[in-house]
Amino acid sequence: MAANRNWAYVDPSSVPDIRITPPGPKSVEYHSRASKLMKGYSSQVQLFPVVWEKGHGVTLTDVDGNTYIDFSSGIYVTGLGHCHPKIVAAVQKATGELMNCHDFTTPIKMQLLEKINEITLGSGPTKLNGVQLYDSGTTAVEAGLRACRAATNHFEFISFHRDFHGKTMGAVSLARVDRTQGMRAPGFFLVPRAYCYRCVFQMKYPSCNLYCADYIRTVIAEESSGQLAAIVLEPVQGWAGSIIPPDGWIQKLRAICDEFKMLLFADEVLTCMGRTGKMFAMEHWNTLPDVMTLGKGFGNGFPVTAMLISEQYKDVLDKISASTSYGGNPMACAAALASLEVIEEEDINRRSAHLGEVLLKRMKEIEARHPIVGEARGIGCLLGLELVKDKATKEPFVEGGRLVYQKAFRKGLAWVPSGHILRLSPPMVMEPEIGLKAMDIIEESIAEVEEEYGYA
């Protein structure tokens, strides 16, 4: 075991370490004080309002001294572990030298841009080497939409049910809206996603011949004005519950874009930087987008994102007022560059793929054993468990999902809920033994919920 140890290694027998039932008294006090002022907490916090004090590698410690296994990565962000020494040192150095200088070039920005150019997809005119840097995923997505409009001189977009792209006007219009958000902006059209477990068209893959992709032509003919700028997608859905498209679907989207002279816009804010076992999720389908956004794991926790566009279109970035106040500041560039170097130096893509295989195998065993687990799925370290009241009807078991989440959290597993779908995004530096221990906690919590609801 010693030969496999790295800076993030933790003895599996030492975690989780729950010393006082969480949320403990300090967590209750601190959250109560904060929540009098801060509103709009995520469901993650609302269901389990623990207060974090520190993190190291693959563990988190709360203000009451409890240590948890991290199966959230700060919601897909700290895939390289909390406080990676190389990233910490890079940010500290940058902070001591220069904090911000708008969009002027700095040595560290130059190095980051050259590193992105080295690793990014495509070649020649299709190489994604037009770059602009931002400080949030939704800002990068908005920039991508503006770039698509400028590159095509068209203004309509097609996106997918249950994709998530951010919380600003354009990004919200790409996804589901509710009465609190008002109407979707004009020119945005949603179509069903390839979600084979719950096919909207009640077909079966592969005999369906990916009808959901072909249906896009119907939407174009019946709903759009023909002023089509791009198809926008998450290669793998995150918020919706780690939903992985079947083989051929993304390739069909590329073909439809080429047929209608649209751009293909891959929002990889969540899926980039090894999360799916490859640097970019689109590599799994050997498909090249025209526009791509990066975020979350790009800076391993530091707020830095990017929008990339192919060589043939990159000059449009000079036309859309692409710069921002904070995008590409020296601290952000230092964090992103160090993160990319760690991914290469520590063979993170391979480790992510291996850890994902180990965990998915165990998840499939849980699916087979438990009546409320409808489907276990995953690709790399982007995984999900869908809970149902009945495997035949597939009725979502929302209350069960909340209970499993809370029970596992109380046992020392910090992770991510999404209604009846439990999302798992462990740090990619996690040893498989720790990951399997987390799975033990999850299965134990599922069994308890089944007993409470009379399934056992």
The CA distance from 144 to 157, in Å, is 11
How high is the pLDDT of residue 41? 94
The answer to whether the CB of 404 falls within 8 A of the CB of 225 is no
- The answer to whether residue 416 sits within a structural domain is no
Owner of token pair 């649209």: 262
**CA 6: distance to chain centroid?**
25
The CA distance from 404 to 383, in Å, is 16
Q: What angle do CA 318, 324, 330 make, to 5 degrees?
A: 110
The CA distance from 143 to 206, in Å, is 36
- The answer to whether residue 426 sits within a structural domain is no
Question: Which residues, 6+ apart, have CB-to-CB distance to 453 below 8 Å?
Answer: 372, 400
Question: Which residues, 6+ apart, have CB-to-CB distance to 427 below 8 Å?
Answer: 8, 57, 58, 70, 73, 78, 79, 80, 81, 82, 381
How high is the pLDDT of residue 26? 98
The CA-to-CA distance between both ends of the chain, in Å, stands at 38
Question: What is the domain range of residue 161?
Answer: 88-345
Q: Are residues 58 and 95 in the same domain?
A: no
Q: Are residues 64 and 92 in the same domain?
A: no
Q: Are residues 19 and 95 in the same domain?
A: no
- The answer to whether residue 80 sits within a structural domain is no
Q: Are residues 111 and 161 in the same domain?
A: yes
Phi, psi of 380 (to 5 degrees): 60, -135
- The answer to whether residue 402 sits within a structural domain is no
- The answer to whether residue 375 sits within a structural domain is no
Q: Are residues 154 and 36 in the same domain?
A: no
Q: Is the peptide bond before 23 cis (omega within 30 degrees of 0)?
A: yes
How high is the pLDDT of residue 5? 53
The CA distance from 360 to 381, in Å, is 9
Domain boundary among 330, 345, 360: 345
CA dihedral 92, 342, 300, 432 (to 10 degrees): -130
Phi, psi of 83 (to 5 degrees): 60, 45
Element (H, E) at 188: strand 188-191
Domain boundary among 345, 365, 392: 345
- The answer to whether residue 252 sits within a structural domain is yes
The CA distance from 172 to 184, in Å, is 8
Q: Are residues 278 and 134 in the same domain?
A: yes
Q: Are residues 20 and 101 in the same domain?
A: no
- The answer to whether residue 441 sits within a structural domain is no
384 DSSP β-pair partners: 377, 423
Q: Are residues 106 and 44 in the same domain?
A: no
| CA-wise closest residue to 257 among 225, 223, 288 | 288
The answer to whether the CB of 71 falls within 8 A of the CB of 413 is yes
Q: Are residues 137 and 226 in the same domain?
A: yes
Phi, psi of 160 (to 5 degrees): -125, 150
Q: Are residues 40 and 171 in the same domain?
A: no
- The answer to whether residue 456 sits within a structural domain is no
The answer to whether the CB of 68 falls within 8 A of the CB of 62 is yes
Question: In this structure, what CATH number is given to the domain that contains residue 115?
Answer: 3.40.640.10
Q: Are residues 63 and 149 in the same domain?
A: no
Digitized pLDDT (tens) for each residue of the chain, 456 residues in all: 333 457 888 999 999 999 999 999 999 999 999 999 999 999 999 999 999 999 999 999 999 999 999 999 999 999 999 999 999 999 999 999 999 999 999 999 999 999 999 999 999 999 999 999 999 999 999 999 999 999 999 999 999 999 999 988 899 999 887 767 667 889 999 999 999 999 999 999 999 999 999 999 999 999 999 999 999 999 999 999 999 999 999 999 999 999 999 999 999 999 999 999 999 999 999 999 999 999 999 999 999 999 999 999 999 999 998 889 999 999 999 999 999 999 999 999 999 999 999 999 999 999 999 999 999 999 999 999 999 999 999 999 999 999 999 999 999 999 998 799 999 999 999 999 999 999 999 999 999 999 999 997
Structural domain count, the chain: 2
7-12: long-range pairs with CB below 8 Å, 24+: 7/57, 7/81, 7/84, 7/85, 8/56, 8/57, 8/58, 8/81, 8/84, 8/427, 8/429, 8/430, 9/57, 9/431, 10/57, 10/58, 10/59, 10/431, 10/434, 12/431, 12/433, 12/434, 12/437
Domain boundary among 71, 100, 132: 71
Q: Are residues 275 and 304 in the same domain?
A: yes
